[in-house]
Amino acid sequence: MAGIASVDSLRSSPSHQTHGKFELPAAVKSVLVLALVHEQDEPELDWWDDKKGGTPGNRRLGSIAKRLSQWLKEECNIIARPLAYHIDQGGVFLKDAAALAGLGILGKNNLLITPRFGPRVRFRALFLDRDFEPTGPIDFSPCEACDMRCWRACPRKAFKNGSYRRALCNGQMKEDEGNKAVFEKPESDDSSSICIKYCRACELACPVAG
């Protein structure tokens, strides 16, 4: 999936307003948001390995963004700069950007929920030097009539007061980091065999496009 968000709308989005330190070069006009589906039957895309410092899915998205930026330059004379994943490294808040680009909506599980894949997606973005018509937001309300099974699935009860509590979720992440897993792979594969399997309970409990 892919969509376009305007820089002005991104500046006024909730996360960027709260963060308060969102500066962009003057040449940046639009943000292109890319989404890659992470289905439940391919969990290894989300396994954080200690050798390369990331997940296979994020590396795949990074490769797509790099190749796309080269193609846009060569074929369309558009300057596209792939962004870092984290905002403090020069990125953007990707869920906000994806919602503004029309890829989905921010759900009550604090995840971006897409009509086709639910919350089982991962994002990267590129800055573009051209103004393009935004592709979102969209009219989509999957949480309104939902029984919120995502809230019940959370092992840390991070939604027990009716809203997301980041500190409780971070506690689960710390526990996951302390329980690194070893997985088997062919002898010809020299990649790391140690990984962190972060919790996806609320994500996988979501019934949208499940």
Residues 6+ apart with CB under 8 A from 65: 34, 82, 83, 124, 125, 126
- Stated length of the chain: 210
pLDDT, tens digit, for every residue of 87-146? 888 889 999 999 999 999 999 999 999 999 999 999 999 999 999 999 999 999 999 999
If pLDDT is split at 50, 70 and 90, which confidence band does 27 have? confident
pLDDT greater at residue 50 or residue 195? 195
If pLDDT is split at 50, 70 and 90, which confidence band does 51 have? low
pLDDT, tens digit, for every residue of 155-164? 999 999 889 9
Q: Alpha-carbon distance 36 to 61, whole Å?
A: 7
Q: Alpha-carbon distance 141 to 139, whole Å?
A: 7
Residue 18: its pLDDT value, please?
Answer: 85
pLDDT, tens digit, for every residue of 149-203? 999 999 999 999 889 999 999 999 999 999 988 766 555 555 557 889 999 999 9
Residue 97: its pLDDT value, please?
Answer: 96
Residue 6: its pLDDT value, please?
Answer: 95
Once rounded to an integer, what is the mean pLDDT over residues 5-26?
84
